[in-house]
Structure 1
Amino acid sequence: MISYSDFQEAELLDLLKAGDYAAFNELYARHWSALYGSAYNVLRDRDSCMDIVQEVFVWFWEHRKKWELTSCKGYLLTAVKFKVANYIRNNKAKNSFFEKLATTQIQITDELAFEAQELMEFIKKFTNDLPDRCREIFHLSRFEQLSNKEIANKLGISEKTVENQITVALKKLRSRLGTNMMLIFFFL
């Protein structure tokens, strides 16, 4: 019996491409934990994260003949990132969050309310400094919760343009707020 644990990733990918399921299992074993961790860092929902990772691996197996890869970890992590984004965009995470929120006791102190208000004021001022089109796209995305596709259709532009403008806005916001404050913004 062959021990796939000694194989380099490029060799496993060649075997996978030929339909070797044991090579697939070895890649799965090597990367499952990192992919799950990546999804869990965002969603904090065990079942959803497991589903996302499974879907990515199933998709990877089904499309194995198309790959021209020598390493797949970065590729798989990117696929998980997009699956997580789609999951959130489709409101699955939002619904789960609000269901959990309904059963949780939250005490909003004056200090917390003040900090949240300060943060929102900062973000509003920040958006005013963005170029017109970037500001409009950022507003539609973050304040009106429209998907990139909906924004593209509404403004008559490509989804890629929407993605690029949101990326520009978030990079600028990240640099002004700092990385830790960005997490607060997305969960308010």
Structure 2
Amino acid sequence: MSAFHLLDDDQLAGQLRDGNELAFTEIYNRYWDKLYYLAHKLLKDTAAAEEIVQDVFFILWKKRETLAIKSLAAYLAAMTRYAVYRLISKDKKLKKQENIAGMSGVGATSEMNVDNKILLEIITGLSNKLPEKCRLVFQYNKLQDRSLADVAEQLNMSRKTAEAHLTKALKIIRTSLSNFMALLF
């Protein structure tokens, strides 16, 4: 058993500054529970509180030579509180970014749905101006997503004839769409 448990905080801080690992161990044993209680009280999260306290002790050891500690208990408590506040701030920023990303995703999806509906209305309007057989083949195949073989069978025509009508319909609609887009832009 070491004599470090008999030393006061100022003496331990001096020994810590000199790099004495036993002094650090005594500080750790003396304050770990108190700092954990403080962090847990603020965070209400066991794992996060433990991690905060471990980080406080890690920083204490890492910066031991440059620290000017007047009151070890107050210094460690302040380090713990500030670490908790940084974690809370970081979590708030992360949640805010997630909310913004989620909202922009919803807005983009909604905007895309509107754009798709407008485009579908334009294409439907253009297809209504096609000759009857072309219009039927195009609407059944492209707008109702039916196979060309089914469309040909339903309209009582050969598959080659249905393909010819579809090709003609697509050519007319593409030309009309490019003219329409040129007018828009």
Structure number with higher helix proportion: 2
Where on the TM-score scale, by shorter chain, does this alignment land: which range?
A: 0.3 to 0.5
Alignment TM-score, normalising by the size of structure 2: 0.48
Choose 1 or 2 for highest CA Rg: 2
